[in-house]
Amino acid sequence: MKPENTTRMTKWRTDSIYSPKDLNIHDPHEMYKWEEPVSGWEWAGRVLGTLGFFVGIYMLTLLTFLF
């Protein structure tokens, strides 16, 4: 094994809190990046959009059975 992989494995085994990007053995050339943090407004939009989707599906099925 390469020494940098051994140190990563040792860090992974001994630390209780670690950053997953420190253990980047599957993408050593950084071809795929982690998603950048998004604002609270974007998270609120995602949550409301998901909630609206499920409520819409529920209402469509409920109205289908009623009429």
- Is residue 49, in this structure, part of any structural domain at all? yes
- Is residue 55, in this structure, part of any structural domain at all? yes
- % helix, strand, coil for the chain, step of 5: 65, 0, 35
- Is residue 53, in this structure, part of any structural domain at all? yes
- Is residue 56, in this structure, part of any structural domain at all? yes
Structural domains counted in the chain: 1
pTM (predicted TM-score): 0.47
- Each residue's pLDDT tens digit in the chain (67 positions)? 566 655 655 555 555 556 665 666 676 677 777 778 889 999 999 999 999 999 999 999 988 887 7
- Is residue 62, in this structure, part of any structural domain at all? yes
The number of beta carbons lying within 10 Å of the beta carbon of residue 36 is 5
Which domain, by its residues, includes 47?
A: 40-67
HSE-CB of 14 using CA atoms within 13 angstroms = 6
